[in-house]
Each structure stands twice: as structure tokens, then as C-alpha cells.
Amino acid sequence: MEADTAERPSWLDETFIEDALRSREEYGGVIVADIRVQLAVGKMGSTNVGEVTIPPWLNYEFVAEILSERKDKQIFVTDMDVKAAVGRGDNYLSTLYRITVEFIESKDGNEVNKYGLVIKTLPDGEILQKLIHDIQGFEKELQMYKITLPAMYLKMMGMSTNGNFHPLSARYLPSKRKDTIVLEDLQHLGYKMANRHTGLDLEHCKLTVRALARLHAASVALHKTDPSSIDMYSELMFADTGEQRENMEKSFQSNLNVLVSKLDEWPGYEPYANKIRKLVPTAVDRIIKCTKPREGSLNVLNHGDCWTNNMMFHYCPKTGEVDDVRLIDFQLVRFSSPVLDLQYFLCTSTNDEIRFGQRDRLLREYHAELRDTLEDLKLDPQQYTLQQLNEDFEENEIFGLLMVCTYLSAMLATSIDVPDFSELKEDFMLDDGTHPMEKLLEGKRFKEVLYTFLHYYENKGLI
């Protein structure tokens, strides 16, 4: 990676470079093996890679410290390549870097090893950063990776009789840097992200709901052993009181009102405009009611943001068939009814064939896995029946409807239709005076999918 605009300090002359490259001397805590990369990601400022700016702290020293702790020995970074982990429109609540690291395990070692990392930091823009801090997004996600998921794994490994334990997510690597999460890059293990525009087929959906069932069941076991283990995951996105409640109400109502204005304009959509308009005054209250834990019913740790881009799939090298899924991004974890994850997933991530035609089948698939996992964890497998699941799912259809009306347009948008959310202001408008939803809602794919949902919810009597 080149850094043509980096200013070279006086001591960094040709003699130093030649000596460093020839002798692999350690300098500043790293092995200088490629001076171009050291200039690009070292202490001389930031460098642009596509649309992403590499911060000065994301350098050899930082990566060497992470990997040294992972390997439990001092390692020496010899080269690394940093790029944006995802494209525009693939992620909104963080900035993601993908790093391929080359390193040796001793100063005079000759064997070069490779390791893949994903670094997650705060998103650009004051408003988005404030939102993340208000909902404790990084604190929740760190708690999940450092404490909660490992505790779940211990319980799940204890129930495995054949040693075939499959982690639910990526490996976490500790970092001392605040608001920074370091993960093993699942891409280096053969995992891939699916196409968010076309959505997932039946096999991908079955794997996903089974993974959610195992996550949910393990959280039930954890909560039974230690109820305080879920204290960190109280609902903050849709808070019932305070400034966050006020901000969410403004944002939600603003988004819905923009959608209503578009429905009034689009031929064939006009009959739905007044139906959605009637939802606006009570939308946040209904969301808050949905997200609260249910007394007398099953409550679990929900992933909270389970859509196509927050999962990665592995495919069998021989057959090419999908054989595993890992869940990522735990910033919106909440303790509530398991049907919230199911509503969110089925409303945002399935293809056209699955969206309504296979819902009942996927709910049965989820319930069978939940029941079996609860039983393996020596918990009552009948504590949440299929009938209860279906009733709760039906009762929370409004949650799915409101997610479709407010978030789905961003999930289905093409990269050129995604506004720069770093420009978002306190009134939820962009610097140019436009509302960010206006361009998102014009996406062809979103309009196609939205129409099928509006027709579905009209038939259900929700609108």
C-alpha cells in the first residue's frame, strides 16, 4: 500500500531504510520489512484506502501486540495489507477494516505466517457516534465477545457428546484500545457474506434460524445459572424514557413520514399512504412494547440485528453446499422474546420465494432446534411450545412491519444510493438539507419488496 503524501522525517533517510531492510532491525516495536507500509500505517498520519481512512494508530505496533497476546509469544509483523472490510451500504454503525498480516515468530526467523483480522471502530460522524455511545453498542458487543459467548460455549461444549461443537461467531482477540473490537477474519477461514439484495434461499435460512435457536437456548441456560449475566443487555435503542426515547421518536416518525410522502407519489402505492400515516403517532410505543421482556413467557438474548450482512456462511469444498453460519455484530443485543430475532430476520434477509411461502416451515425448524438444544442443556424442552412460538410471532408482526418501513430500504440500497450518514445532523437531515431516507426509498429493489409486505400486512389487518 502506497502513501505518496506522507511526509518523511529527517532521520528516515536512504541509509536507515537500507540498513533496516537488510538487517530486519526492530524499530519502534516492529520489524521494518516493508518501509512503504510503515510509512502508510505508521506514525505519520492517516492514509486513504478506497473510501476508508486508515487511522494512525492502526499500525504494525498495534497489530503485533494483538497477535503476540493471541499466540502467547512475541511476534514480529513483517507486512500487512489494510482495506475496507465491507462496501458502502453494507454496514452503518461502525467502521470496519480488513487486515492481512504477515509475521515471523522470532527476529531471525525465516518462516512467514499469515493471519486475517477484522478491526471494528466507531463510525464517522458525531450523530452516529453519539447513538452508539447512548445505546452502549461497543460495550454490549465487547461483553458478548469477552464474557457472554465464552460462557455460552462452555455450556454448549458440555452438552456435546461427539466433540462437534461449532462456535456461533468469530474469534475475539483482546485489545486495550477503547471502542475497538478485533476479530479473526472469517473470510480467511472460507466464510462469505451472502447477497443482501437477492436475499437468502431456504438452506441458508434454515442454518440461520438453527443458529439463532442455539444462541437463544444457550442464553436461557446462562440466565438460569447467573441471572446477572444479562444485566448489560437491557433495551437502550428503544428506551422507554429519557433523551434516547425522544431522539428515537423523532427519528422514527421522521422516517415514517418520508415514506408516507413517497407512497403518496408512487403509482399503485397510494392506497397504503394513509394506512402507514395512521401508524406514525404510536409507532415507537408499539416498538417499545414489543422489545420489553415478557412476563410468564420465554425471554432470551436476541442478536438484535440479524440481517444478511451480520452473518457469514461457509460452503462445503466438495459439494459447494452451504454447511455453516457464523453470526457477527452484537451491538444491539437485547433480552426479550425470541420472536423479535425471527421477525427481524424473516423481514430483512430472505429471498422472494421464502419471504412468506416458507415462514411456517422456518418457525418449525427454529423450534425443533431450540427444543433439542434446551434438552441437551438439561433444561425443560417444553417450556416454550410451537404453539406459543406461533402466537408470539403473530402478536409481534407489528415489529416486523415497522422494521420494514424504517430500516429495510437501507439494507436493500445499492452503494450509489446510500447517503453519507457521517453528515447526519441533530434534526436527522443531511448537510445538503435532504432527508437520508429520500434517496434510500427510491431504490428499485426496495420498492418491489415493500409492495409485497404492504399487501401481506394489509391482508393480516395490521394496516
DSSP 260-287: HHHHHHSTTTHHHHHHHHTTGGGHHHHH
Q: Is the dihedral of CA 382, 395, 214, 140 positive or negative?
A: negative
The confidence score (pLDDT) of residue 406 equals 95
> How confident is the prediction for the chain on average, in pLDDT?
86
How far apart CA 263 and CA 195 sit, in angstroms, is 27
Q: Residue 341's pLDDT band (boundaries 50, 70, 90)?
A: very high
Pick the more confident residue, 72 or 20: 72
Q: Residue 21's pLDDT band (boundaries 50, 70, 90)?
A: very low
Residue 7, pLDDT above cutoff 70: no
The confidence score (pLDDT) of residue 38 equals 37
How far apart CA 297 and CA 318 sit, in angstroms, is 43
Residue 126, pLDDT above cutoff 90: no
Counting every residue written for the chain, the total comes to 463
Residue 20, pLDDT above cutoff 80: no
The confidence score (pLDDT) of residue 29 equals 36
455-463 mean pLDDT:
95
The confidence score (pLDDT) of residue 426 equals 66
Residue 22, pLDDT above cutoff 50: no
How far apart CA 107 and CA 24 sit, in angstroms, is 8
Render pLDDT for 54-83 as a digit per residue (tens, 0 to 9).
889 999 999 999 999 998 889 899 999 999
Share of the chain above pLDDT 70, in %: 84
Q: Determine which helix (DSSP H) or strand (DSSP E) holds 415, and give its type and residue range.
A: none
119-129 mean pLDDT:
87
Q: Residue 247's pLDDT band (boundaries 50, 70, 90)?
A: confident
Render pLDDT for 137-160 as a digit per residue (tens, 0 to 9).
999 999 999 999 999 999 998 775
Residue 311, pLDDT above cutoff 80: yes
Residue 1, pLDDT above cutoff 90: no
**Which stretch, 43-47, 68-72, 125-129, 363-367, has highest mean pLDDT?**
363-367
- Least confident range from 43-52, 147-156, 271-280, 385-394: namely 43-52
The confidence score (pLDDT) of residue 23 equals 43
Strand pairing category for 181-184 and 300-302? unpaired
Q: Determine which helix (DSSP H) or strand (DSSP E) holds 322, and give its type and residue range.
A: strand 322-327
Q: Residue 235's pLDDT band (boundaries 50, 70, 90)?
A: very high
Q: Residue 93's pLDDT band (boundaries 50, 70, 90)?
A: confident
Q: Residue 84's pLDDT band (boundaries 50, 70, 90)?
A: confident
Domain boundaries, the chain: 14-121, 127-170+190-460
Fold of 127-170+190-460: Aminoglycoside 3'-phosphotransferase; Chain: A, domain 2 (3.90.1200)
Q: Determine which helix (DSSP H) or strand (DSSP E) holds 45, and give its type and residue range.
A: none
Residue 353, pLDDT above cutoff 60: yes
Pick the more confident residue, 439 or 368: 368
- Least confident range from 52-56, 115-119, 208-212: namely 52-56
- The torsion of the CA quartet 262, 286, 94, 300, rounded to 10 degrees, works out to -140
The confidence score (pLDDT) of residue 5 equals 40
The confidence score (pLDDT) of residue 40 equals 34
Contacts 24+ apart (CB under 8 A), 143-146: 143/232, 143/233, 144/169, 144/330, 144/333, 145/169, 145/172, 145/181, 145/183, 145/330, 146/172, 146/174
The confidence score (pLDDT) of residue 131 equals 87
Q: Is the dihedral of CA 329, 113, 53, 446 positive or negative?
A: negative
Residue 47, pLDDT above cutoff 60: no
Q: Residue 450's pLDDT band (boundaries 50, 70, 90)?
A: very high
> Closest Cα partner for 302 from 336, 331, 328, 326?
336
The confidence score (pLDDT) of residue 428 equals 58
Residue 222, pLDDT above cutoff 70: yes
Strands annotated E in 191-272: 191-192
Render pLDDT for 387-440 as a digit per residue (tens, 0 to 9).
999 999 999 999 999 999 999 999 999 888 877 666 666 665 666 667 778 889
